[in-house]
């Protein structure tokens, strides 16, 4: 892909955001508790579909959760849940009930 995807956490909005050329391309909304991060919704602007935006958000967000430690992931969002299913190295982050 020629466009660089920049992903960052925006804690004020409770979401991880992806930008391409400074333009908001997509985001994953989350809710935090003391021991979990619940991903509730992921959205990619139609102009940026098929460019790896959703995957970039998922990878960045899950790597961020892993690096911070202390929280498990509750993937209510179908996209995040499916992405983890395709990337078993992230399965250990998912909260086990």
**Which CATH number covers residue 59?**
3.40.630.30
Residue 43 lies in a domain: yes
Residue 97 lies in a domain: no
pLDDT tens for each residue of 33-90: 999 999 999 999 999 999 999 999 999 999 999 999 999 999 999 999 999 999 999 9
Closest by Cα among 47, 39, 42 to 73? 39
Residue 96 lies in a domain: no
Residue 95 lies in a domain: no
Q: Which domain holds residue 14?
A: 5-90
Are 44 and 66 spatial neighbours (Cβ–Cβ below 8 Å)? no
Number of domains in the chain: 1
pLDDT tier, 2 (very low <50, low <70, confident <90, very high otherwise): very low
Task: Determine the Cα–Cα distance for residues 92 and 73; give it in Å rounded to an integer.
Answer: 9
């Amino acid at each position: 892909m020629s466009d660089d995807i920049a992903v960052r956490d925006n804690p004020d909005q409770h979401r991880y955001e992806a930008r391409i050329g400074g333009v908001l391309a997509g985001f994953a909304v989350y809710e935090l508790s003391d021991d979990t991060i619940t991903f509730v919704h992921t959205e990619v602007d139609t102009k940026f579909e098929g460019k790896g935006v959703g995957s970039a958000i998922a990878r960045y967000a899950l790597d961020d959760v892993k690096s911070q430690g202390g929280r498990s992931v509750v993937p209510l969002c179908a996209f995040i849940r499916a992405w983890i299913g395709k990337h078993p190295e992230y399965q250990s982050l998912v909260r086990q009930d």
